[in-house]
Amino acid sequence: RLRKWQERIRTKDAGERNLQFALSEIDRMASALGVPRSVREVASVIYRRALDDDLIRGRSIEGVATAALYAACRKEGIPRSLEEISDVSRVERKEIGRTYRYISQELGLEMEPVDPKKYVPRFCSELQLSEEVQTKANEIIEETAEQGLLSGKSPTGYAAAAIYAASLLCNEKKTQREVADVAQVTEVTIRNRYQEQIEAMGIHG
Amino acid sequence: MVDPKETINIENVVASTGIGQELDLQSVAMDLEGADYDPEQFPGLVYRTQEPKSAALIFRSGKIVCTGAKSTDDVHESLRIVFDKLRDLQIQVDEDPEIVVQNIVTSADLGRNLNLNAIAIGLGLENIEYEPEQFPGLVYRLDDPDVVALLFGSGKLVITGGKKPEDAEEAVDKIVSRLEELGLLD
DNA sequence: AGCTTACTTTGTAAAGC
DNA sequence: GCTTTAAAAAGTAAGCT
């Protein structure tokens, strides 16, 4: 029992020592992603909770830090895709996703599915598309999601297709390749989602 | 309306057993045609049966895992073939080794599209996992029967973790009534 | 633009690292 | 925790013609 207690102290101390590193990593990645300070603070709180609940065992500090940041972005309403997150982390996408699902379950974060509309302002801004296109894309997402088209689909691909469709409708055309690049999805995915969406909207593309 | 229970199909059955005898897998690999054995990669020898189609993992301890069969009958038939193949190699195999079903994978169809977003909220975010960026299915864990269900937008689903076919039937019934009482199956 | 192949998720046993 | 085996669901991706 004494041994177990000592071990607990040891791992706790190690965790506290590594906390510094984890927080600096969260800061580094958050800066690279250009997310506001509030997101870093939420990510830090999530990481601390994971540490207190001993969720880091068997996982890398960097993995939990990255997953905490991914969760924080979503909680703050400015989601980054796992692809974007893994671009600034040394942990691979698959591991970030796994770790995120684990801490999300264990900490009871009760994360809601990402709303594709949350990606519209940032993607449109990167593509230099007008407010009109953003509004149109949001309408497409809203209406087609209501018709049940969103189930099981990736939020980034869904948003990308709606933005592509909106850019056509507003005469500010962007190519599928351009939209695919900022959303980090393939043209094939945009094509597939786009076809479903315009059909559901009753638009003849 | 078709009863979703009638759409249940067993897709895979996993079972374990043992011949009650230790094995020299190196020599079994030499004599058994079609055997795949790479101890550096995995301690078990892989042997596939054609009819019924299955894959048997044979271990040094004499324990065997059979997977890929479409029914519990197929599991028994596949293992009967494996036992006879081993007997052909002059290996002692128990008379009727006990065969234990460890997992049954089933698919079914609820017959209508599902709004997974609404279902995620309705069943309770703390009771499900739904991450469409990572996988299109919603993961729903049941306590009784102790199985896991994967629900898809098409209304099709997968039930896994059960030990008997009735587990899948009970699970489908419970899922259907739960979704109905939440008004999510209309 | 297809078509093919392959990876994501779930559960499960086995022996060994 | 990993390794291997099987099968389904549906989305996404990559390679080839």
Residue of B nearest to A108 (CA): B126
State the pLDDT at residue A100: 98
Confidence grade of residue A14 (pLDDT, cut at 50, 70, 90): confident
pLDDT per residue as tens digits for the range A156-182: 999 999 999 999 999 999 999 999 999
Q: Which nucleotide is nearest to A161 (CA to C1')?
A: D12
Q: Tell me, yes or no, if B153 comes closer than 8 A to chain A by beta carbon.
A: yes
Q: Is residue B7 part of a domain?
A: no
Q: Does the C-beta of B153 come within 7 A of strand D?
A: yes
Residue at B69 is within a domain: yes
Q: Which chain B residues contact residue A81 at CB under 8 A?
A: 133
Residue A1 pLDDT grade (very low, low, confident, very high; cuts 50, 70, 90): low
How large is the ipTM? 0.96
- Asked, for residue B6, whether it belongs to a domain, the answer is no
Q: CB within 8 A of B49, min separation 6: which ones?
A: B55, B56, B78, B81, B82
Judge if B152 and B91 occupy the same domain: no
> Is residue B96 domain-shared with residue B146, that is, in the same domain?
no
Shared domain for B162 and B98, answered yes or no, is: no
Banded model confidence at residue A10, pLDDT cuts 50, 70, 90: low
CATH number at residue B134: 3.30.310.10
Distance of CA B3 to the CA centre of its chain: 23
* List of chain B residues whose C-beta atoms are within 8 Å of the C-beta of residue A154: 132-133
- State the Cα–Cα distance between residues A96 and A91, nearest whole angstrom: 7
Domain boundary among B49, B80, B102: B102
**Which of B102, B125, B147 corresponds to the end of one domain?**
B102
| Residue–nucleotide distance: B12 CA to D7 C1' (Å) | 5
Q: Say whether B46 sits in a helix, a strand or coil.
A: strand
Q: Is B8 a member of any domain?
A: no
For B152, the closest chain A residue by CA position comes to A152
Look at A152 and B137 and tell me if their CB atoms are within 8 Å: yes
Chain A residues within 8 A of B132 when measuring between CB atoms: 113, 151-155
Clarify whether residues B98 and B114 are in a common domain: no
User: The whole model's pTM is what?
Assistant: 0.96
Specify the number of domains making up chain B.
2
Same domain, B122 and B166: yes
Residue B126's domain spans which residues?
110-182
Helix ranges restricted to H, chain A: 2-33, 37-52, 61-75, 82-87, 93-106, 120-126, 131-146, 155-169, 176-183, 187-201
Tell me: do B40 and B23 sit in the same domain: yes
The answer for residues whose C-beta is within 8 angstroms of residue B73's C-beta and 6 or more apart is none
- Strand D, nucleotides < 7 Å from a protein CB: these are 1, 3-14
